[in-house]
Amino acid sequence: MRKIGIVFLLFILTVGSLVAQSETEKPKLIVGIIVDQMRQDYLYRFEDRYSEGGFKRLIKGGFMLKNGHYNYIPTYTGPGHASVYTGATPSSHGIIGNDWYAKSIDQMIYCASDTTVTNVGGSAENGLISPKNLLTTTITDELRIATQKRSKVVGIAIKDRGASLPAGHMGDAYWFDSKTGEFMTSTYYYDKLPEWVSKFNADKYVDKYLSETWNTLYPIDTYTQSIADDNEFEGIFSGKDSPTFPYDLKELRKTNGEFGLISTTPYGNTLTLDFALAALEGEKMGMGEETDFLALSFSSPDYIGHRFGPQSKEIEDTYLRLDQEIERLFNYLDKTYGKDQYLIFLTADHAVAEVATHMINENVPAGNLRTSA
């Protein structure tokens, strides 16, 4: 009897019921994946270039919910991650935006901020993070409660909110620090970094990737699911004259935030998965009697999408490369746990609209909302 399966979800407000299995044996590990800003059409637009072991394996080997919807606004990163993992909406779980104004204290609040904690590793300014503002339990919390905290829960992302909210109130969370190039946490979780985290940081993966040149995975003239590489609708990295391949990251890091540059390249996804695999090994996840939970969020597609837009060659290349990372994850899980011993789901926290100036240029009625006076 098959012990576990694959679930591909467009949106998973009912994730708790989907994870429940009728089989008598529990999965060794659950891996929840959120791809920040992933649109549904990316599955079909780029499908011909996907491998059988990546996104196609999720689609063909699991269950796909095609009629999901986001029944709240705004669909930002904070509310999206909180809604996926709580099964609730912002009116209940309290994460009503990435930031919001709190009248009672007359100031803005960041969704994952907590001034009562400090950084562990990384930089002080990026360490004021915890799930304090999340008002409900998550599926990861419920797993810890149900097992008297014997189940391990680890949340990982480049974005702090993409790690801390899915990990819930009772799990561990790690995020990338753009100031130091390290993965870090806060005193909400630990007083010092676990040894495996310190070792990962000492290996300087970020420097390795930022010495690369980001070019297209395949010949650029075969990228037919995107607009021309050189156009007026995309953002340009400081130090370049156009939004075009190739991107010499060793040079660009000098003028684009040093370590933070990796977030706006596909290597941010690679780095995130590297750290996730290190977490599985370092925490010996899936090796105990209880089910463990890895909450993994790929943040880079959002940074790339905001800079270049959903019709860009950069986005097309990002998803072709992310497909390879998904396959790498599957291969690791198969080898480590066995093909029928884990559950994996994939969804998005939100999608993205077309670039308004591009639509206007194509005579499509569109415009930008002016949010300031």
How distant is the alpha carbon of residue 96 from its chain centre?
Answer: 19
Phi, psi of 99 (to 5 degrees): -140, 150
DSSP state of 295: E
Residue recorded with tokens 């919390």: 141
Which of 133, 126, 131 has its CA nearest to residue 141? 131
Alpha helices (H) in the chain, listed in sequence order: 15-19, 41-45, 55-61, 77-86, 90-93, 139-146, 160-167, 195-202, 205-209, 249-252, 267-282, 300-308, 313-337, 356-361
pLDDT of amino acid 67? 83
In order, the DSSP letters of 103-154 are: TTTTEEEETTB-TT--EESS-GGG--B-STT--S--HHHHHHHHTTT-S-EE
Which of 278, 269, 249, 322 has its CA nearest to residue 158? 269
The amino acid occupying position 162 is G
CA distance 79 to 75: 6
CA distance 279 to 198: 11
269: Cα within 13 Å, side-chain hemisphere = 26
Q: How many CB atoms lie within 10 A of CB 77?
A: 25
CA distance 154 to 176: 14
CA angle 146, 150, 153 (to 5 degrees): 85
DSSP state of 305: H
CA distance 158 to 205: 14
Residues 6+ apart with CB under 8 A from 106: none
What is the end-to-end Cα distance of the chain in Å, rounded? 62
Q: Is 318 a catalytic residue?
A: no
What's the per-residue H, E or C state across 179-232? CCCEEEEECCCCCCCCHHHHHHHHCCHHHHHCCCEECCCCCHHHCCCCCCCCCC
209 close to 259: Cβ distance less than 8 angstroms = no
10 close to 65: Cβ distance less than 8 angstroms = yes
CA distance 188 to 279: 18
Burial (Cβ within 10 Å: 0-12, 13-18, ≥19) of residue 187: middle
- Alpha-carbon Rg for the chain, nearest whole angstrom, is 20
Averages of pLDDT over each 10 residues, the chain, 373 residues: 42 34 75 97 96 95 86 95 97 97 94 98 98 98 98 98 98 98 98 98 98 98 97 97 98 96 98 98 97 98 98 98 98 95 96 96 92 74
Catalytic residue among 77, 216, 265, 291: 77
pLDDT of amino acid 373? 66
